[in-house]
Each structure stands twice: as structure tokens, then as C-alpha cells.
Amino acid sequence: MDAVDRRNDTWAFSIIGFLTLVSVLTYLWSEYYIYLSAYLWFGFIYGMCLQYGRFCFSSAFRDLFAVGVPRMAVGIMIAMVLFGFVSAFVTATGMSTFHPAPYGMHSVIAGLIFGVGMVFAGGCASGSLYKSGEGNGSAMLVVLSISVTQAIFVDIGGWANRLAPQSWRESAVAKGLPAAINVEDGWMDQYLAGYVWDQPVKTFADLSGIANPFLAAYVGNVLIGIVVPAALILAWIYVVWARRAFLKKRTKGGRAARGIRVELAGYWGMILASKRTAVAGLFLGIAAGLHMLVMKGLRVKFGVENFGELMTRMGFTFGISAKGTVFDPGYWYVTTQEAQWVGWVFNRLGWENMDNVFFGLNNGIPNPLINPADWMSLALIGGAAVMALLHNEFKWKAPTRELAVWAMIGGALMGIGSRLGLGCNIGAFFVRVSEGDVSGWLFGIGMIAGAYLGVKFFSWWTERKMAKEAAFELV
């Protein structure tokens, strides 16, 4: 072990020590902080898994379309199936913290914008967080761009109000929201209260019509909602991208290259092709399911439904929404807390942003030091940094001007897409699909189409640059 290895190990254990110290000291201050520490340690696990498996939703379909690599799409399907199995049990026992979202064309459009953005940015919302933990300056810029864009986007009014149809405005006003929320001034307010909230909300368990909660969860949500679509997507990926190379290799090795057994072997081989990604998917899926169970357990223990109640008990009243709540999903989420910390900064600088639905009614803008989801995101970066340091993969990298521009544009598109879709690749896709929420696949379809468009653009862009660089005799 050389000096750099030792220094990396020291840093890795210092991060673990610091997070442990935060958990212990805050618990000694008030037992309610265990609620924040639960988010923190699940965030830490997510970060470690994401970095270990290079688990980025952006690369799932981007690398498939760009370079024909299916490993990440496979990893995500594995993670969703496992998450689905664990959370179906949690749902059936009434311990789930999940609430399905309204679905409609907006889910597809939001996914499309998000999908283009994640290809431009070089990583999805969760991928950018874990890459920040690897010391990647470009990813840090993406996180900043997503955060700032969302904080601005949720509060745009004035001229933007004219872009909302009259029907949205009327419907939003008719909801009779608290006086502190001014839905007449805010495009997002009219979009949410006047359009999104009027859309249907269904899980595959609801659609199956099965009354028994266990059967509904496992047959409706897991089998119909996750396993069947995931298996079909993997079959499509196998046929289009993996099959030819697999059969070619078998033929070269003098082995049979025809028959159903051969095809099944190829399908299975594709699933196991990247051990790192598959292992990460397995742990992520299980951790995400357990996260829900733990958060529900803590809510039962403290007799609350939302962390806002605990904040009030602890004497923190700033930034709590008109409903007395703060953003407390009870599971893995990425983008809302990013909007919140910038929203909090804007508010401290004098921007009145608590009169909108997103901050003022639903999520609040608590101080990031007491924001449960911010603890999760910061620990996610910490977990990724620990894993990268232990494998000597940590490296501070300042973005070039070109990458900085892509990071800002991509981050902004992801910020807009995630607010329109009520979540990102995690909250609107991974979690919702795994919970059998219909809106999850709609966001996913848009995201895949967006990734395709982004890849087409980048392929043109890199080809152009390559042609300039390769101005020499190749032979």
C-alpha cells in the first residue's frame, strides 16, 4: 500500500467517522434526530452501491443506443424487481410510505425532457450525486443546475401565467387552497393544482381488481407491473443488442448457436454480464425496500405522519409548509430536496417563495441542516466518496468549458423535467415502477425516448469533433 492508498483510506474512514459522529451527537441532543440519521445511513448505502455498480440511469439507455452496451439497463431491471418484491410485502402489511402519483401525458413529456437532459449532463439525478462523490466537478455543476432551475421553475409567475390554459387556472382556484398559497400567480401552481391533481391515480394492484392485499401487491404490482414489463424490455434488449454477439462467440467457439436453450443461455448471460452492476442492483433494491419499512417504523414510534411534526416539537418552525409538513418521502428521492436547499437560500436572500404549491403547500423549505432528505443526499455523496476512495477512483476533476456548458444545460432540463414529472429517474421512475405505480412506466417511456434523442445529438457532436481531430493518415 503506497502513500496515496493510505491517504485515500484515511479520508474514507474519516467520512464514515464524521457521519457516525453526527448521528451519535445529534441523537444525544434529541432522540428525534434518529429520524434524520435513518435517512442519512440509507443515503450512505445508496451512494456506496451507486458508485460500486457505476449505477447511472442515464447510462442505461444512453449506452445502449450509443455504444450497444446493455449492462446498466439490466442492472436497473434487477433492482426494480427486487425493490418491488421487498416493497410489495411492506405495502401488503400496511407499512408503506409510498403514495402513487397522477398519471397522464404529462408523465411522458416530463420524462422526455428529463431524458434529453440526463444525456447532455452526463448522468441522471442520482448519478450526478454519486459522481460528485468521486470528485467530479462537472457532476457538481449538474447538481447545482438541477437545484437552481427547480427552485426558480416552481415559482415562476407573471408573464408565465399566460402560458397556462384558463381551465387550469379555474380548476386550481376551485381547489380552495389556503390563503397563503397564491395559485393565481404561478405557472407551476396552475399546472399542479389545475391539471396534474385532476389526473387519475392508479397502481397495477388497483387495476388488477384483486381484493387480497398480498395477492394484489405481488400479482398486480410485482408480476404485472414490474416483472412482465422488465422481462419484455430485457428480451427486446437481448434481441436487438446482445444476441448477435453472443451467437457469434458461440459459433467461433464451435458450439451450437441455435435453439431455445441457446437463446435462454444468451439471455441469462446478458443478465449476468456485469457482476458489479447486478450486485449493486441487488443491494439497492433490497435497501430501498427496507428504507420504507424503517421510516414507517419511526413514524409509528414517534406517532407522526411527517417530519414537520417532529420539527415543531423540536422548536424548528421556519420553512414548514401551510399543511404543517416538510418534504419527507419515507423512501429514496433526489430532486425535491435539491430544489429545497436553493429555495431556502433564495428565501433567506429575500425572495418570497412560500406562496407557491411546491414549497408553500407541499414541501416547505426547512434549513438544510434539519432537512431529512438533504441528509440523505449529502450522505449519498459521502457513501460514493468512501467507495471511490477505497478503490483509488477518487479524483478531483474541474470541468472543461465544454463540459460545464453541457452540465448546466443538462441539469436545467433535468430540473424542469423532474418538476413536471413530480420526480426524477428515482422518484418518478425507479420508485414508482417498483411500487406498481402506472405513472412510473409513462415517465420511463419518455425518459427512454429522451435518451435516444440526446444520443443522436451527441453522436453527431462527437463525430464532428472526431473528424477534426483525426485529420491524419489512418493507415
Which residues are near another protein by CB under 8 A?
4, 51, 54, 56, 58-59, 62-63, 66-72, 119, 122-123, 127, 131, 134-136, 138-139, 241-242, 245, 248-249, 273-274, 276-277, 388, 392-395, 397, 399-400, 402-403, 455, 458-459, 462-463, 465-466, 469-470, 472-475
Please give the C-alpha separations between residue 175 and each of 102, 107, 197, 244, 350, in angstroms, as whole numbers.
16, 22, 10, 56, 28
Q: Indicate the residue among 70 and 330 with the shorter CB distance to another protein.
A: 70
Alpha-carbon gap, residue 434 to 430, rounded angstroms: 6
CB of 61 to another protein, least distance (A): 11
Which residue from 304, 245, 252, 307 is spatially nearest to 270, judged by alpha carbons? 245
Which of residues 159 and 472 has its CB atom nearest to another protein in the complex?
472
- Least CB distance to another protein at residue 406 (A): 9
Nearer to another protein, 28 or 466 (CB): 466
d(CA 251, CA 245): 10
CA–CA gap between residue 417 and residue 107 (Å, rounded): 9
CA distances from 443 to 113, 197, 430 (A): 10, 16, 10
Least gap, CB of 277 to another protein (angstroms): 7
Taking the least distance from each CB to another protein, the nearer of 322 and 455 is: 455
Question: CB 412 → another protein: shortest distance, Å?
Answer: 17
Residue 62 or 296 with smaller CB distance to another protein = 62
C-alpha distances in Å from residue 187, one per residue of 153, 154, 191, 208, 352: 9, 8, 6, 36, 16
Identify the CA nearest to 425 among candidates 42, 80, 37. Answer: 80
Grid coordinates of 160: 408565465
Please name the residue that has the C-alpha cell 396534474.
Answer: 196
- Decide: 307 and 328 in contact? Cβ < 8 Å: yes
For residues 331 and 325, give the distance between their C-alpha atoms in angstroms, rounded to a whole number.
Answer: 16
CB of 331 to another protein, least distance (A): 24
Minimum distance between the CB of residue 151 and another protein, rounded to whole angstroms? Answer: 24
What is the closest distance, in whole angstroms, from the C-beta atom of residue 399 to another protein in the complex? 8
Task: Supply the DSSP symbol for 185.
Answer: S
DSSP string covering 156-179: --GGGGGGS-HHHHHHHHHT---T
**Which of 20, 459 has the CB closer to another protein?**
459
Q: 56 vs 322, which CB is nearer to another protein?
A: 56
DSSP letters for 414-466: HHHHHHHTTS-IIIIIIHHHHTTBHHHHHHHHHHHHHHHHHHHHHHHHHHHHH
- Cα–Cα distance, 63 to 72 (Å, whole number): 8
CB closer to another protein, 69 vs 284: 69
**Can you read off the three cell numbers belonging to residue 5?**
492508498
Q: Closest distance between another protein and the C-beta of residue 404, in Å?
A: 11
The nearest distance, CB 470 to another protein, in angstroms, is: 5
Of the two residues 134 and 189, which places its CB atom closer to another protein in the complex? 134
Total residue length of the chain: 475
Q: Among residues 124 and 222, whose Cβ is nearest to another protein?
A: 124
- Report the nearest approach of another protein to the CB of residue 258 (Å): 20
